[in-house]
Every structure is written in C-alpha cells, then in structure tokens.
Chains A and B, each alone.
Chain A
Amino acid sequence: MESTRRARSMAGHIAAYLVLAVLALFCVVPFAWVLLGSVDAHASVYLRTPDWSLHNFVEFFTQSGTPQLLVNSLIIAGGGTIVCIGLAMFSGYAFSRFRFPGRRTMLFGILLIRVIPPTATIAPLYVLVLDLHLNNSYLGIILVEAAFNLPLALWLLKGFFDTIPESLEEAAAVDGASRWSAAIRVVFPLALPGLGASALFTFISIWGDFLTPLVLLQSPNLFPISIGLFQAYVGFNEVKWGLLTATAVIYMIPTVLMYLLVRRYLLRATLSGALKG
C-alpha cells in the first residue's frame, strides 16, 4: 500500500518535470535561430550550425542606415520616458497626497483609459497629429508615446508614493509653495526604486512599440529598430538574414536585461493597481 503510493508519487514527480521541460523548450527554441543566425557568416532563414563570425554585428554598426535605427529607438524611447515619468511623478504625487473632488472618478477613468487599444484610436490619432503639424517628427512621436504610457506610470507611482508615510513631509510642508520642495526633496528620493521601475517599464513599452511609429513616421531616417526590422523582413530586396538577426539581438537584449531588474513588479504593472499591494 505504502510502496504503491510512493511509486505513484514518484511517477507524478517525473511527469511534472517532463511537462515543465516541454513547456520551457517550447518557449525557448524559437530564439535559437535568432541567436545563432546573428553569429553566422552565412545565415539563412533556416536554423543551422553557424559559421562563427561577428561580422553581422560589425556590419550593423558600420553599414549606412542601421546605426541610425538604434539612435532613433534611443531618442524616441528615452525622450518618451523622460516626458512620461517627469509628468507622472507630479501627477502621481498629487493623486496620492491630495483629496479633491473628482479624484476617484479620474483615477478610475485613467484605469479605464488603459484598456483602450491603440489600434482603436490610431486612425483619428493620425489625423489629429497631422492637424497639429507633429507628423513625421521626433517631438510628435515622443509626446504620443508619453501619453500612451502615462496612465500606467501614474498608477504605479501613486502606488509607490502611497507606501511612503505622509508624516515625513508634513514637517517640511507648511504652505503651498513648500509642497513642491517636500515632494522633490523628501518623497521622490525615497521613491527612487519605484521611479526607476516605472521608468524601465515605460522605456521597454516604447522601445518595443511597432504600430505607433509605423503610422506616425514616414521618413526612413526617423525609423526606430522595430520598423527597420519589419521593412527588412518584408523588403523586396533579398533579405540579409545575418544582419537581420544581429539587429534583432541588439534590439532584444536591452529589454530582456531591464525585465530582469523589474521582474518583481511585473504583476503590478500588467494590472496597474488592479490588485492590492
């Protein structure tokens, strides 16, 4: 009796490892081609043993056009993150510290705005950006990306500020003017991990965006990496698989590393305050 039970639990144990191993392999195997292709002097669309070479990466940084993709991605994601976090710091602080009429409605409204899919507003957004003469410019896409990411950043930062006791700044804050210095000198430094996490989430989100730059940018010299990869993949010319996979590796490494830093906030960010804590 005891031995059959143990045998059964042993079999269950092995089955559990088998299922997990298959799942993990399913998730990882597709990346083999991108990684091996990027160091293969004769990469093709098929997975193969590489002729080891760093030539593809050299080509990425020396060929005309491709370094500009990286620069554009950095400008757009960096600029968008600075604008987004710069604004969300203060609005998150205001929603955390002050009780004012309409506050609850606005907070829930902002939560609701998060579910609006970019694909559902992209056509009118394009017309609006045209009307504002912000089309095909760094400024236009930076402002739009910042706006898209503000709801999440505001909710995340409000949550972080909520955990900092208000008594710390009450001593500093006597009148309206010093409220700003209390926020900047007392609260923001204490919320630095939260600010960092929110900034990383914003950066990752803008860095990985495809639809917005596809619609709002037309000049190849403004394209970020996502659009460059798409153009190269569907291009009429022969695809250079080595350069393409090297570009993909350069593109994905920063997000993977950043995710490692913010992994513990992942659930909170995907639900943006929808779960307690």
Chain B
Amino acid sequence: MRTASVIAAMAGPTLILVGLFVVGPAVYGIWLSFTNKSLEGAAALHTQFVGLANYRTLFTDGGFLQSLGMSAEFVFFSAIVGQFVLGMVAAILLSRTTIRFKGLFGAAILLPMVVPEVVAALTWGSMLAQGHFGTVNRGIALFGFAPVNWLQSVPMLSIIIINIWRGIAFAMIMFQAAIEGIPKEIEQAARVDGASPWQIVRHITLPLIRGPIQLYMLVSTITTFSIFGLVYFLTQGGPGGATNLVAIYIYNYAFQFFEIGLGSAGSVILLLAILVLGFMYVRLSRAEV
C-alpha cells in the first residue's frame, strides 16, 4: 500500500498537468466543435449546442477542404520527397569511409534545424526578397533569369523549398544511424563481387533500412502536418489563401474570426488524422518499456 502512494505521488503531478493541458483540450475541443462557441458577439455570451453544423460548414464552404489539399501537397513534396531524398543522399555520402570533413558538412546541414523556427523563416524573408537584390534572384540572374517575386507568385513552391531546407537534417540523422547499423562485411562482399556504388545503395542499403525509412515517413508526415510558425511568419496563409495550411486555417478561424466552434471542428479532424498515423507510429516503433 505504501508503494502505491509513493507511485501516485511521484507520477501523479505529471499525469495531472499533461491531462489538464494536453489531453483536456483535445477532449474539450470535441465538445466545442458541436457548439457555436465564439469569443465575440452574442454567441460569446450564450454558447449553444449546434450539432454537426460546424462540420457541415467545413465540408461545404470549400476553404477547409482546400486547406487539407494544400497541407497534403506541402507534406508530400517537402517531407516525403524533398527532405527524404536530400537527407538520404547526405546520409549515404557521409557514411563513406573515404569522405573527409564529415563533422563540418554534418554541422552545416544541421544548422537550419537547430535554430528557432522564427529565425529560420526570417532568413528566407531576405533570401526570397523581391527585386534585383534579393539573394535568390541574384543567384538565378547568373543563369539569365529575370527576378521573381517568390512569396507572391509561387508561394507554395517557396514554402516547400523552405521546409525542405529546414528538415534535411532530421532525415539525415535518422538514416545515418540506420546505415551505421548495417554490418560492413555485406557491403564489402558486394564490392568484391564487382557491384557499383549505385547498385550497393539500391540493392543493399535501401532494402536493409526499410524499417527506419517507414518510421521516418510516418514521423515526418505527422510533424509536417502541424507546421505553423515557419509558414505563418512569412505568409500568414496568403497571398489570397495560397498557403493556408490546415494549421493556419484553424488558427485564423479561431483567433482572427473568433469562431472557436468552427476552429475546434477543424482541430478535431486534424487530430483524428494525426492519431491514426500516431497509432501506426507507436506500433511501428516497438518501443521497449
């Protein structure tokens, strides 16, 4: 009996705080999504149960579905394609024994990930600045291209590139650890048999780290779906809603239009999608407890 009270006293405060501020809001959000809760106007004083009205609004006014589509596009091209390919290339090259300055290359690639997201966004505010003097525009001018107003004319492409830049390191460190786990003899045997470096990657390295690759796809999908600050800082969802990712849609509805009920309904849908992925993550991770 004494042990039970020790356990309760040690673990209790943690569980209470997490329950109150993480699990609580998730559950409270489900309730709010069925109400017309608002921070302004008449509904602020008299919150009423409105059934599925918020969900009906979400799925009929088009904006929310468009946001989901944009988030899917953003996740696919930045995390699943861009970060994966570049992170894998970096990990494979840095695992070669003959490469020097590994620490230097690794640190450089790590830098975008370790700075606060607001600073990461700010640096691209200058990189993509419009006119002849913007850094990227100066770069493409070397190849004869005219300056582009990046965040205005190709906003989705711009935020995808920015997020690839920020996330290469995460893919890289995951794949580096996985590649380190492959016994060196397998690769050596293949090389003795005359396999080219590309054949070794294609037929040995990639199949052997399939598990970590799946885990990466899952984790990066989850984290990329919830990106807010990196994009909001630069575009606030604009121009004309062109970068209105789900997270920004929810924020704008709840805090710019004060429609908490509608924002909560969007949150519930985001939450359900993420939890499905989350269950797969917990199963795939086979964590020891």
Contacts and interface: CB of A to CB of B under 8 A. Distances in A.
B96 A16 contact: yes
Contacts, number: 302
Nearest to B133: A46
A16 B111 contact: no
Interface string B124-152: 11110100011100000000000000000
A123 B279 contact: no
A100 interface: yes
Contact of B122 (A28, A151, A233): A233
Nearest to A37: B126
Contact of B115 (A116, A234, A252, A271): A252
B226 A120 contact: yes
A76 interface: no
A120 B267 contact: yes
A interface: dominant SS: helix
B126 to A, nearest CB: 4
Given A16-B96, A176-B6, A113 B289 contact: no
Interface residues of A, number: 99
Contacts of A98: 3, 6-7
A183 B9 CA distance: 13
Interface in B102-116: 104-105, 108-112, 114-116
A141 to B, nearest CB: 11
Interface string A89-104: 0110111001010011
Contacts of A225: 118
Nearest to B139: A29
A267 B173 contact: yes
A119 to B, nearest CB: 4
B13 to A, nearest CB: 5
Question: Which bucket holds chain B's interface residue count?
Answer: 35 or more
A231 B10 CA distance: 41
Interface stretch (A50-58, A59-67, A142-150): A142-150
A143 B2 contact: no
B122 A46 contact: no
Q: Which 6 A-B pairs have the closest CB atoms?
A: A117-B226, A176-B2, A274-B285, A208-B116, A210-B229, A91-B14
Interface of B: 2-7, 9-11, 13-15, 17-18, 20-26, 28-29, 32, 37, 86, 89-90, 93-94, 96, 98-99, 104-105, 108-112, 114-119, 122-127, 129, 133-135, 165, 168-170, 173-174, 177, 197, 215, 219, 222-223, 225-226, 228-229, 232-233, 236, 246-247, 250-251, 254-255, 260, 263-264, 267-268, 270-271, 274-275, 277-279, 281-282, 285-289
